[in-house]
């Protein structure tokens, strides 16, 4: 065949090609449902990747943000922003920690946490401070957070990476105890309570308690990355609270503003005074619109009992998936907590994104083989049942297809 005179025009000729997008353009949403520009309806099982805590067009959030837009969107951090103190006080109340720095994204929150760890080390006289990080971790795509990330695929092409990280396996107490015995430059542990991009892999309660003990014994900071698993997603405000511990530094973002970009680092007494004037800053972080979004998100979560809903509906969703996929060859594991659930298959399954969209369901695939669900915390039991009814036949058909009969080699 002769090549066509002209290839089909890209729908986004001026947008940098950094995403493998599906051919779907979304128009509007309400609750846990969205519609595309062609009028097709989708059940949102992704929640903007754990961002849309209150779903879409929440009837309590929209008027509050509309009011704020009519007053002030942005000023600058040269001036007091009363809503910063209001949101910071609430986050300290919920976490039992001491103070907060506001930024705009999870990446920025994690960068700030790394800076705190390094300065904490220097303040203690450690000339080249090092930080314990984890295999399969994901903390962001800046050079520093990329270096802390444990995924060679996303690191490829961006070397040299930042030094000063010591990598260990997740949930291996002996490994971190060995680091403590052998490496006197370590000043902090940087840990996701549930690895999101790494495949929805939970840190065990026993391991969290052990790491807290190791940090206390060695004078290290415990930094718990709650960017994806925090803000009520597991049924508690923060996932580490299931273990009954407190971190020294806790990065937050994603669900904190229910779609408005809000990031934060919440610090306990050991880290609260590491930063002084001029040590860190931001232009957009903590602006009045973002802070109002955070304040209203938490208020609505409390009023509407969304932590309990995440726990109850999440358990029902997980149970439904386990029931429908029981005994299916190729389903390796179903794991997670609350409304953060991963279904690990025995082969790469990225094509399920398109199949799910065609069936009216929005999902994610992470770590190549894990179907990830991160719906809004307002998800109802009926909507959870609909996710199961749509997704499980797609997974069964995918695993039964001849082209997927042989698992890909790792």
pLDDT digits (tens, 9 = 90+) for 259-297: 999 999 999 999 999 999 999 999 999 999 999 999 999
Q: What is the pLDDT of residues 155-205, one digit of tens each?
A: 999 999 999 999 999 999 999 999 999 999 999 999 999 999 999 999 999
Q: What is the pLDDT of residue 11?
A: 86
Q: Could you tell me where the DSSP H helices lie in 72-204?
A: 82-95, 106-123, 143-148, 152-155, 173-182
Single out the catalytic residue among 119, 201, 236, 254. 254
In tens, the pLDDT along 202-249 reads 999 999 999 999 999 999 999 999 999 999 999 999 999 999 999 999
Share of the chain above pLDDT 90, in %: 95
Report the b/e string of 320-344 with b at 16+ CB within 10 A: bbeebbeeeebbeebbbbbbbbbbb
Q: Give yes or no for a cis peptide into 58 (omega within 30° of 0).
A: no
Helix (H) or strand (E) holding 352: helix 352-358
Q: Find the helix packing angle between 306-325 and 381-400, rounded to 10°.
A: 30
Told to judge if 44 belongs to the known catalytic residues of this protein, a careful annotator would answer no
pLDDT for position 402: 81
Contacts of 409 (CB under 8 A, 6+ apart): none
Q: Which one is catalytic: 201, 225, 270, 369?
A: 225
Give pLDDT tens digits for 40-63. 999 999 999 999 999 999 999 999
For residue 301, give the 3-state DSSP assignment: helix
Fold match between domain 26-58+305-404 and domain 72-303: no
Which of 51, 59, 43 is CA-nearest to residue 379? 43
Active-site residue (options: 102, 138, 190, 238): 138
Identify whether 5 is a catalytic site residue: no
Q: What percent of the chain has pLDDT over 70?
A: 96
> Quick check: 309 pLDDT over 70?
yes
Helix %, strand %, coil % for the chain, to 5?
Answer: 40, 20, 45
pLDDT tens digits, 77-133: 999 999 999 999 999 999 999 999 999 999 999 999 999 999 999 999 999 999 999
Q: Supply the pLDDT for residue 358.
A: 98
Selecting from 3.40.50.300, 3.90.1150.10, 3.50.30.30, 3.30.1240.10, what CATH number does the domain 26-58+305-404 have? 3.90.1150.10
Task: List 263's β-bridge partners, or say none.
Answer: 103
Examine the pLDDT at 408 and tell me if it is beyond 60: no
Please give the average per-residue pLDDT across 335-341, as a whole number.
98
Delimit the domains of the chain by residue range. Answer: 26-58+305-404, 72-303
Decide if pLDDT at 410 tops 90. no
- Three-class SS state of 297: helix
* 225 in catalytic set: yes
Contact 188, 117 (CB under 8 A): yes
Alpha-carbon distance values, 141 to 86, 137, 193, 407 (Å): 30, 12, 19, 29
157: tokens are 């092409």
pLDDT of residue 405: 42
Where do runs of H (alpha helix) occur along 198-276?
Answer: 205-218
| Residue 16 CB neighbours (<10 A) | 6
CATH 3.40.640.10 fits 72-303, yes or no: yes
């Amino acid at each position: 065949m002769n090549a066509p005179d002209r290839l089909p025009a890209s729908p986004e000729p001026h947008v940098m090609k950094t995403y493998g997008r599906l051919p779907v353009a979304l128009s509007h949403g309400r609750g846990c449902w969205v519609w595309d520009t062609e009028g097709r309806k989708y059940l949102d099982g992704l929640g903007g990747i754990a961002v849309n805590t209150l779903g879409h067009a929440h009837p309590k959030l929209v008027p509050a943000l509309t009011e704020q837009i009519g007053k002030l969107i942005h000023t600058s951090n040269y001036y007091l922003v009363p809503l910063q103190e209001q949101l910071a006080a609430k986050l300290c109340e919920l976490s039992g920690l001491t103070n907060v720095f506001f930024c705009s994204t999870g990446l920025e929150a994690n960068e700030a946490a790394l800076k705190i760890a390094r300065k904490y080390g220097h303040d203690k006289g450690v000339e080249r401070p090092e930080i314990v990080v984890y295999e399969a971790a994901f903390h962001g795509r800046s050079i520093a957070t990329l270096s802390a990330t444990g995924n060679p695929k996303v690191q490829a092409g961006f070397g040299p990476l930042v030094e000063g990280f010591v990598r260990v396996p997740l949930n291996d107490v002996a490994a971190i105890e060995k680091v403590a015995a052998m490496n006197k430059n370590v000043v902090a542990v940087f840990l996701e309570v549930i690895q999101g991009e790494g495949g929805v892999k939970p840190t065990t309660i026993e391991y969290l308690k052990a790491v807290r003990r190791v940090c206390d014994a060695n004078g290290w900071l415990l930094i718990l990355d709650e960017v994806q698993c925090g803000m009520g997603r597991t049924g508690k405000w923060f996932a580490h609270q299931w273990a009954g511990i407190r971190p020294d530094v806790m990065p937050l973002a994603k669900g904190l503003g229910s779609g408005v970009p809000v990031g934060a680092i919440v610090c306990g007494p050991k880290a609260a005074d590491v930063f002084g004037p001029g040590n860190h800053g931001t232009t957009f972080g903590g602006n009045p619109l973002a802070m109002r979004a955070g304040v209203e998100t938490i208020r609505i979560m409390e009023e509407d009992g969304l932590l309990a809903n995440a726990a109850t509906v999440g358990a029902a969703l997980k149970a439904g998936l386990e029931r429908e996929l029981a005994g299916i060859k190729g389903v390796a594991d179903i794991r997670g907590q609350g409304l953060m659930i991963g279904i690990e298959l025995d082969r790469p399954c990225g094509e399920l994104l398109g199949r799910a969209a065609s069936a009216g369901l929005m999902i994610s695939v992470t770590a190549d083989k894990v179907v990830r669900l991160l719906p809004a915390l307002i998800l109802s039991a009926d909507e959870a049942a609909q996710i199961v009814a749509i997704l499980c036949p797609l997974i069964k058909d995918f695993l039964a297809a001849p082209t997927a009969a042989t698992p890909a080699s790792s």
